[in-house]
Amino acid sequence: MPIEIPAFIGARLAGWHRSYSSLTLRELVVKVRRRITRPLFLLYCSALVAAFHVRNVIKGSSPVRVEVGGVAFCLVPEGSIAFHTWSGLRFEQHELEFILRVLQPGMTFFDIGANAGLFTLAAGKAREGTLGCIYAFEPCPATFAILKKNIHKNRLAGIHAQCMAISEYCGEASLYINAAMKDGLNSLEDPSHGDAEVIGTIPVHLTTLDAFLTERGIARVDVMKVDVEGAELLAFRGARSLLSRADAPLILYEGYSWCTAGFQYHPVEIMWLLESFGYEIFVLDSVSGQARQRTPGESYDAMVVAVKPSHSRYAEVAAGRAQT
């Protein structure tokens, strides 16, 4: 028998022993279940993508209808956001409802990492004719084109769409582009997200929030949603002037280590930076959809709400009951 065969088997057995020998029975069951269910889930996702394409052919690419928090709008059936909304695989209902609750008439809303505009459209429809201004930032030209189509499709005015990335300096950078139906994972660094599938890079324009506000003469920002696939810390570093103000915006942002790892920092560093500006940190509960205090020992991976006591919506957020 060739020596390569027993050596190969021995190496595999040793690897399995290292991976499983220290686990409890419950941990072992969970790990084995994940190894079995993940391939099945990926197969299920592939089937849904195929069904989405069939749906678009049959319906002549009719819009995907969305309703959340009593607000209705539509998405052109292009890109990952429309697909995930249609399939129900990932729909940010709690996050959308939270933003709709905290936005008030006359407020200015920044949607940073807008993608196809899910939050921008919801905010625009909810406060149509009463909201101050909405600025939507999306650096990928192909995704930005979808964003513009969605704004036009919903006949929304007062939305300023910007094809640029928000970071800690002004200039140019490379954006890592993912395969079709994974455009929501595009990132300024090689994505560390497990589902990423990079197919290339493109040059994009960078600016800082502080520079943008100065250039456009924007007096204040009331609410921000920040979802930039791990570059959140960089975006906040470029907004020191804005974030140090007493009227600094309430922020809802993604703080997940599987995204920040690509930028070589831990999500807790975002919390530390915001706290240095006087922010208080809350977690958006995945069950109730309300903001709450972090519990001792809780993971730092979370959707995070950061707000200053001086903000008009602080009391409602702190009480876990942001009402309209």
Instruction: Read off the pLDDT of residues 78-110 as tens digits, 9 standing for 90 and up.
Output: 999 999 999 988 889 999 999 999 999 999 999
Distance between CA 260 and CA 191 in Å, rounded? 9
Residue 62 DSSP class: P
Distance between CA 111 and CA 59 in Å, rounded? 30
Helix (H, G, I), strand (E, B) or coil at 286: coil
Confidence of residue 5 (pLDDT cuts 50, 70, 90): low
The yes-or-no verdict on residue 10 having pLDDT over 80 is no
CB 132 within 8 A of CB 124: no
Confidence of residue 6 (pLDDT cuts 50, 70, 90): low
Distance between CA 232 and CA 7 in Å, rounded? 46
Give the model's pLDDT for residue 33. 62
CB 192 within 8 A of CB 262: yes
Structure tokens at 284: 């958006």
Distance between CA 238 and CA 203 in Å, rounded? 20
Predicted TM-score of the model (pTM): 0.86
